[in-house]
A and B are shown apart, each in its own frame.
Chain A
Amino acid sequence: MEAVDQLLFGYRDGHQLLAASRAISPRQQRELLPHVDASFERSDARQLVGIGVPALDAYLLGAIWPAPERPRPGAVWAHALLIGTHQLARLPLLGLLTLLERPRDEHFERYSRPLAWPALPSDSARLAPFSRALAWALHSTDPSPVIVLWDFPDVAEGALIALLDETPGPERMALSFRTRESARPSSPYRIQVASDVAGQLGAAREILIDPRYSGPGSVSATG
């Protein structure tokens, strides 16, 4: 049976790896940590992140949640899947979102075993304007990072995974994304989806796309 490795990060004397289904060295952990940490304004929010991690020969797909129940203000949980490069290239990915699960208690044993690869969900909804914006951005020959403004970044998750699914296998490792409350300049991600932008754009020549108020079939973009 096909299985996918998983990692759980949370706050215990620092934000760190709490459980894993495969060995992760301190150096590998250090490489992963920026992708599985976040700051939140809303306690009910969640962020989605996807990025290739060559050092692990894997693609990281993870979700991050605020952890207000932890003693340190600003603590977060992150549950990440490590998708092998062969899996990434040939398997349907959309069902993976259903595996991402916030811890409910202090029992992390279930994060220490690989998870069975999920079936495709039956209700894989599409967000037409948002998906068009993403497609427009990625089919452009301009390799600049893309920021897509969307009022509810969390509901864009399905479209991001669908986009990864529809990207040709060998190119999936290079497609990185992250949902945030506010997009950041000079981000390591090819795509950021957020409701606004924090800071001054321009240094990384980001393409800003705002599909929220455009008519059907069109997107507006500024570079």
Chain B
Amino acid sequence: MNFLLLGEQATGKSSLLVALYGALVNQRAENLRIVRTIDDVEFLSRGLLAFGRQESVRRTEIDSHARLIVELARGEQLVSLDIPDRSGEVLKHTLDSRLWDPDLLEQVVSADAAMLFLRADRLEPLENPQPALIAGTAGGETEDASPSASAPAWSPALMQPDARAVDLLQALLAERSRPLPVAVIISAWDSVGAAALGPREWLSQSVLLLDQYLTSNSARLPNAVFGVSAQGGDFAAGLPADLAGEDPWDRSYVIAPSGQRDTLAAPIIWLLDAVS
């Protein structure tokens, strides 16, 4: 089964794979067990070591073709999973140039399911939206707000994250005739705070356009939203004392669509159920 990771740079794709691998190997993944790994998993082992040192996972090189290929047992059922881990810059530059990267397009067409990554700490609602980013429009109500020669020409690179996500999903649907189950992964969930809403409610407040698009296209894009903390906290700010001594696979967690804390396997299990 081919799972596609869709996310721009630093949205937590590799971190999730590392944390998932740690959960699978250390039996913190509900009833999912690794039967065997089929490809080189050195990058995942290295990532787990980095998490152990409370360091973030290194960014993925643009021409890297790292992937997690595993055979899993789910109760009596055997499942083969192939999850390529392409660099987020591949997607970023696909959106900016409005031209599919050939490998990414191939994955989009052949994928059985996808995970769409957004990063919570980059998606807080804007306090002062800036309409002047659209070239040639006035920047505000002031008298001297004339079209400015210094305003940047509009380009896809100026799109806000929610518009970029919807743009991506529209382009994706144009390439597929069959439905694609999507687990929306809100990474760095620990930055949202303990009093936060559930992931879906958070999405509907912070990434409204994407939430509306997913709702109105749920037949072609069956979807569920998960909050994920692959690291368990912010390494730069320092982990809370009660987490600092934990193993990486015990620090990481998922907030399921229900709002309940769950294991790293929850998005995978949801996707497996959605595909079958």
Interface residues of A (CB under 8 A from B): 11, 13-16, 25-27, 29-30, 33-34, 37-39, 72-75, 199
Which of B59, B87, B94, B97 touches A73 (beta carbons < 8 Å)?
A: B59
Known contacts A14-B88, A30-B97, A37 near B61 by CB under 8 Å:
yes
Known contacts A26-B97, A30-B99, A75 near B59 by CB under 8 Å:
yes
Q: Contact at B59–A74, with CB atoms within 8 Å?
A: yes
Known contacts A14-B88, A26-B155, A199-B40, A73 near B58 by CB under 8 Å:
yes
Q: Contact at A72–B10, with CB atoms within 8 Å?
A: yes
Which of B56, B58, B60, B93 touches A33 (beta carbons < 8 Å)?
A: B93
Q: Give B57-116 interface residues, CB cut-off 8 Å to A.
A: 57-64, 87-89, 92-94, 96-97, 99, 101
Q: Contact at A34–B63, with CB atoms within 8 Å?
A: yes
B162 to chain A, nearest CB (A): 17
- B42-60 to A contact mask, C-beta < 8 Å, 1/0: 0000000010000111111
A-B contact number at CB 8 A: 64
Q: In the assembled complex, which residues on chain B have CB atoms less than 8 Å from the CB atom of A72?
A: 10, 56, 59
A103 to chain B, nearest CB (A): 18
Interface centre among A16, A26, A33 (most CB of B within 10 A): A26
- Output the nearest chain A residue to B94 by Cβ-Cβ distance: A30
Q: How many residues of B contact A (CB 8 A)?
A: 28
User: Interface residues of B: mostly helix, strand, loop or mixed?
Assistant: loop
B9 near A: Cβ within 8 Å?
yes
A15 to chain B, nearest CB (A): 5
Q: In the assembled complex, which residues on chain A have CB atoms less than 8 Å from the CB atom of B156?
A: 26
Q: Contact at A37–B63, with CB atoms within 8 Å?
A: yes
Interface residues of B (CB under 8 A from A): 8-10, 40, 50, 55-64, 87-89, 92-94, 96-97, 99, 101, 155-157
Q: Contact at A14–B97, with CB atoms within 8 Å?
A: no
A101 to chain B, nearest CB (A): 22
Interface centre among A27, A34, A75, A199 (most CB of B within 10 A): A34
B30 to chain A, nearest CB (A): 30
Q: Contact at A34–B56, with CB atoms within 8 Å?
A: no
Expressed in whole angstroms, the Cα–Cα distance for A38 and B59 within the complex equals: 10
Apart from A14-B8, A14-B9, A30-B96: 16 A-B pairs, beta carbons within 8 A: A14-B10, A15-B62, A15-B89, A16-B93, A26-B97, A29-B97, A30-B93, A30-B94, A37-B61, A39-B61, A39-B64, A72-B59, A73-B59, A74-B59, A74-B61, A75-B59
Q: Contact at A74–B60, with CB atoms within 8 Å?
A: yes
Q: Contact at A73–B157, with CB atoms within 8 Å?
A: no
B97 to chain A, nearest CB (A): 4
- Output the nearest chain A residue to B61 by Cβ-Cβ distance: A39
Q: Could you jot down 10 A-B contacts, CB within 8 Å?
A: A16-B92, A25-B97, A26-B97, A27-B99, A30-B93, A30-B96, A33-B93, A39-B58, A72-B59, A74-B59
Q: In the assembled complex, which residues on chain A have CB atoms less than 8 Å from the CB atom of B61?
A: 37-39, 74
Expressed in whole angstroms, the Cα–Cα distance for A13 and B96 within the complex equals: 13
- Output the nearest chain A residue to B46 by Cβ-Cβ distance: A41
Expressed in whole angstroms, the Cα–Cα distance for A113 and B222 within the complex equals: 51
Q: Contact at B157–A26, with CB atoms within 8 Å?
A: yes
Interface centre among A25, A29, A33 (most CB of B within 10 A): A33
Per CB-CB distance, the 4 closest pairs between chain A and chain B, nearest first, are A74-B58, A74-B59, A34-B63, A26-B97
Q: In the assembled complex, which residues on chain B have CB atoms less than 8 Å from the CB atom of A16?
A: 89, 92-93
B45 to chain A, nearest CB (A): 14
Q: Contact at B56–A73, with CB atoms within 8 Å?
A: yes
- Output the nearest chain A residue to B62 by Cβ-Cβ distance: A37
Q: In the assembled complex, which residues on chain B have CB atoms less than 8 Å from the CB atom of A27?
A: 97, 99
- Output the nearest chain A residue to B60 by Cβ-Cβ distance: A74
Q: Contact at B92–A14, with CB atoms within 8 Å?
A: yes
Known contacts A26-B155, A39-B64, A199-B40, A15 near B59 by CB under 8 Å:
yes
Expressed in whole angstroms, the Cα–Cα distance for A175 and B156 within the complex equals: 35
Q: In the assembled complex, which residues on chain B have CB atoms less than 8 Å from the CB atom of A38?
A: 61
Q: Contact at A26–B93, with CB atoms within 8 Å?
A: yes
Expressed in whole angstroms, the Cα–Cα distance for A72 and B14 within the complex equals: 13
Expressed in whole angstroms, the Cα–Cα distance for A198 and B88 within the complex equals: 22
Q: Contact at A26–B96, with CB atoms within 8 Å?
A: yes
Q: Contact at A30–B9, with CB atoms within 8 Å?
A: no
Q: In the assembled complex, which residues on chain A have CB atoms less than 8 Å from the CB atom of B94?
A: 30
Interface centre among B50, B59, B89, B96 (most CB of A within 10 A): B59
Interface centre among B92, B93, B96 (most CB of A within 10 A): B93
Q: In the assembled complex, which residues on chain B have CB atoms less than 8 Å from the CB atom of A37?
A: 61-63, 87, 89
Q: In the assembled complex, which residues on chain A have CB atoms less than 8 Å from the CB atom of B60?
A: 39, 74
Q: In the assembled complex, which residues on chain A have CB atoms less than 8 Å from the CB atom of B58?
A: 39, 73-74
